[in-house]
Amino acid sequence: MNTLTISNASRNSELGSFFHSLLFAANTILGLSFAFIIVSILISYPYAEYFSMHAQLLAHISTIVMAAILKVSYVMRCVAQHGLGLEVR
């Protein structure tokens, strides 16, 4: 029975480490994607006259792509918080 307890404790420790890593990665991706969305919106609209049509096109496309990445990273963050037993907001 002690072997089972040690095995479960080891597995819980591994899962805790995984969820901590997942939370760090999700927070990092969340911050970066938010920053890229802000930059792409600035290039697309208020400062469009300073950029070529090609750059504006890429900025418009990246706004959509970064929004999707932001949503996925938020879900990753929620999964990590749930796995760690933290409040999910």
Which range has the worst mean pLDDT, 7-11, 42-46, 53-57?
7-11
85: left (phi over 0), alpha (psi -120 to 50) or beta: left
Q: Does 89 reside within a domain?
A: no
- Selected residue with higher pLDDT from 83 and 5: 83
CA distance 70 to 1: 45
Could you give the C-alpha distances from 45 to 40, 41, 58, in angstroms and in order? 9, 6, 13
**Is the pTM value of this prediction over 0.85?**
no
**Domain of residue 70, residue span:** 2-84
- Which tokens in the block code for residue 73? 């990273």
Q: How many domains does the chain have?
A: 1
In degrees, rounded to 5, the angle at the alpha carbon of residue 54 between the alpha carbons of residues 29 and 65 is 25
Domain presence at residue 31: yes
